Amino acid sequence: MCGTLYLCATPIGNLGDVSARALELFRTADLIAAEDTRRTVQLLNHFGISKPLTSYHEHNKREKGAYITGLLEEGKNVCLVSDAGTPAISDPGEDLVRLCIEKNLPVTSVPGPVAAVNALILSGLSTRRFSFEGFLSVNKRHRREHLEQVKNDPHTLIFYEAPHKLKYTLHDMCAAFGGGRRIALARELTKLHEEVLRMTLAEAEAYYEETAPRGEYVLVIEGAPDCAAPTDAWWAELPVPAHVEHYIEKGLSPKEAVKEAAKDRGLPKRDVYNAYHTTGDDAH
């Protein structure tokens, strides 16, 4: 029988955030594959765990992928851990997962911290819908193309950033999104000096002209204004059929109600008509 690959989340700062299940697997698995073995040894030492480790990172993922899947085929259980947080989020873990799926090898997850999600929930920005954008490229043209692609996205945007690139990134973001957009800059999450700065992009650019960035950052940026669906509209939480019903209850004919709801939402009447009648058909 094949072994299982366990994708084990580890703390992003505070060691108390490791799960009991992850620790149990570190004790019982045959091997731990780590992005940075020195860092993982520190975590294991803290909990008095001694276990064989192998490195698995961007520069050896091809050979190590073959080695790890070979072990799984022999029935060994392997834990995969990243530098910090959840493996396969902005790290080469995604390649190993794909390889296991191709080879029909069992993969499961042991959930825990993700820097992006923690920054998002602390940002004060909309968490209803968001887009995780990972790291911007170091290539100037690719970074600008990436920012151009997402500048009209109405969802909250989340980026990872290293301190030495922060100043340039804020400059490029101001140019692409405009300085008025709100941003939350989260650093040292779950650590003693955790900090979340909330300001506009222009203020952030000016602030980091004067202040040296310290630690790894997550940048959470307000989405583009969505003219078609203002979130503070009275009908924003209503599904389309309930929006139409509202006008019918106020005395409009179904045709007029569809017209009014379509006008509110900036949608074609046909779309609202179809949404209203499809639900009606399902209900009867």
6/273 with CB nearer ligand SAM: 6
Within 10 Å of residue 23's Cβ, how many Cβ atoms?
Answer: 17
| Rounded-to-integer distance, Cα 71 and Cα 52, Å | 13
- 85 touching ligand SAM, by CB under 6 A: yes
Residue 187 binds to ligand SAM (criterion: CB under 6 A)? yes
Residue selected from 29, 40, 91, 96 as contacting ligand SAM according to rule CB under 6 A: 91
The minimum distance between CB 94 and ligand SAM, in angstroms, equals 10
**211 DSSP assignment:** S
Sole binder of ligand SAM in the list 3, 8, 13, 157 (CB under 6 A): 13
92 in contact with ligand SAM (CB under 6 A) = no
Regarding 4 and contact with ligand SAM (CB under 6 A), the answer is no
CB contact set of 15 (below 8 Å; sequence gap of 6+)? 43, 46
List of residues 6+ apart from 181 with CB closer than 8 A:
173, 200, 201, 221, 222
Among 7, 166, 218, 221, binds ligand SAM (CB under 6 A): 218
CA 97/CA 106 separation, integer angstroms = 9
Neighbours of 87 (CB within 10 A): 29
Site for ligand SAM in 142-181 (CB under 6 A): 160-162
Strand order through the sheet with 130-135: 130-135, 156-161, 217-221, 182-187, 195-200
User: Interface with ligand SAM includes 133 (CB under 6 A)?
Assistant: no
Q: Is residue 10 close enough to count as binding ligand SAM by CB under 6 A? A: no
Strand order in the sheet with 107-110: 53-55, 31-34, 78-81, 5-8, 107-110
Residue 48: how many CB atoms within 10 A of its CB?
8
| 216 lies in the binding site for ligand SAM (CB under 6 A) | yes
Part in contact with ligand SAM (CB under 6 A); list of ranges 20-28, 81-89, 147-155, 242-250: 81-89
Q: Which of 97, 105, 125, 186 is in the footprint of ligand SAM by CB under 6 A?
A: 186
Count the site residues for ligand SAM by CB under 6 A: 25
Residues that bind ligand SAM (CB under 6 A): 12-13, 82-86, 89-91, 114-116, 160-162, 186-191, 216-218
